[in-house]
Amino acid sequence: MAVIEGIQAIHEEMKSWRHQIHQHPETAFEEIATGDLVAELLESFGITIDRGLGRTGVVGILEGQEPASGKIGLRADMDALNLQELNDFSHKSQCDGKMHACGHDGHTTMLLGAAKYLAATKNFKGTVYFIFQPAEENEGGAHEMIKDGLFDKFDVDAVYGMHNWPSYKEGVFCVKGGALMAANDRFEIVITGKGGHAAMPHLAVDSIAVATQVVQALQHIASRQTSPMHSVVVSITQIHAGDAWNVLPEECVIRGSIRSLDPEVQKKTWKSIEQISAKTAEAYGASSSCKIHSGYPVTINDKTAASKALIAAQKVVGDDNVVTDFESTMGSEDFSFMLQAKPGAYVFLGNAGEHTGPDGSPCMLHNPYYDFNDQILPIGASYFVTLIEQELPL
């Protein structure tokens, strides 16, 4: 392990920032105190700041020792989740119903640690942009920052990010090119039949019975219509209809979630959902309307950027602690919007350490017993610094 000495030296300081952020979790677009802390720290390091992109976003701008055209963005997310923390340690959440259960407190801290070190050493040429974004969870804070002109203002050559990953042990990096995390879309199908008396179904068109056929038919998208070499998930998560014991309701609403790793598969799946619901409803004398809300796109790492990230990770933790052959996840990430705009790479850093849930195993993200592992703070910060010194060398 070759954690940078100057970063190891600020480990305790980083821990205190992390615990402060953990104690005061803020959710989507309300990252006021967190943004203030980030901005104050960046300024105290001598870094110029820009605030307000994506409402609560903070960007730190740092020039290296020599001017040069190279520009790299490093991104961390700052938001917490609406979740009641069940941990009972001294740095537990002080805000009922909100918690840093995805480790964004740690992501913010690792980037702050890298910023402090790079500002003090400036062992690079060109410019580094430290991008602290709001609202990664559900609300697309990355997209909001881009919409507000993030990359017009700061036209980076590449952008890099990182997420802690509890199923890998502390200090293990997972790096690969291509699709890493899934696109996440939602759909709503409204089946309209003909309402009627439960005792006389032949005089009605039973929207519930039709909806169950639609639900069954939708299973064919993953099992029969998609190549076994590709991945897609179509999950029905809600069915709503009816208020009475003896009424066949006119309408039945089906809602669900789509996950896919390939934009082609994604498009085909949308089309299949529309077609299957319309034709199935028609076959039973009902009609259907289908709305698909596109969410986060597939997180796709640029192959060249991923190979640069791989080299940096190997320098920090050694070849044996970098995994390149691992499964992509059907979870989603709004860093995908940044990767649509700029080449770059997203990596996972193993988080499993001493802290566990009540069953003795590491807590997965979004678990009420989760905690970011402070041991990986200097590792993540060293990775960011190594990447900058490697890609913007003097």
Can you give the binding site for Zn ion, defined by CB under 5 A? 102
In angstroms, give the least distance from the CB of 58 to Zn ion. 18
Token pair, residue 307, equals 């190979």
Nearer to Zn ion by Cβ, of 81 and 191: the residue is 81
In angstroms, give the least distance from the CB of 278 to Zn ion. 34
Nearer to Zn ion by Cβ, of 139 and 157: the residue is 139
In angstroms, give the least distance from the CB of 44 to Zn ion. 27
Nearer to Zn ion by Cβ, of 27 and 314: the residue is 27
Give residue 321's Cα distance to chain centre. 23
Nearer to Zn ion by Cβ, of 7 and 102: the residue is 102
Nearer to Zn ion by Cβ, of 253 and 365: the residue is 365
Nearer to Zn ion by Cβ, of 226 and 336: the residue is 336
In angstroms, give the least distance from the CB of 52 to Zn ion. 23
Residues linked to residue 190 through DSSP beta bridges, in sequence order: 253, 289
In angstroms, give the least distance from the CB of 321 to Zn ion. 22
Dihedral sign for Cα atoms in the order 296, 143, 101, 375? positive
Query: Do the Cβ atoms of 389 and 326 come closer than 8 Å?
Result: no
In angstroms, give the least distance from the CB of 296 to Zn ion. 11
In angstroms, give the least distance from the CB of 367 to Zn ion. 11
Nearer to Zn ion by Cβ, of 102 and 158: the residue is 102
In the complex, residue closest to Zn ion by CB: 102
In angstroms, give the least distance from the CB of 14 to Zn ion. 19
Nearer to Zn ion by Cβ, of 267 and 366: the residue is 366
Helix axes 11-23, 377-391, angle to 10 degrees: 110
Nearer to Zn ion by Cβ, of 277 and 299: the residue is 299
In angstroms, give the least distance from the CB of 342 to Zn ion. 20
Query: Do the Cβ atoms of 74 and 160 come closer than 8 Å?
Result: yes
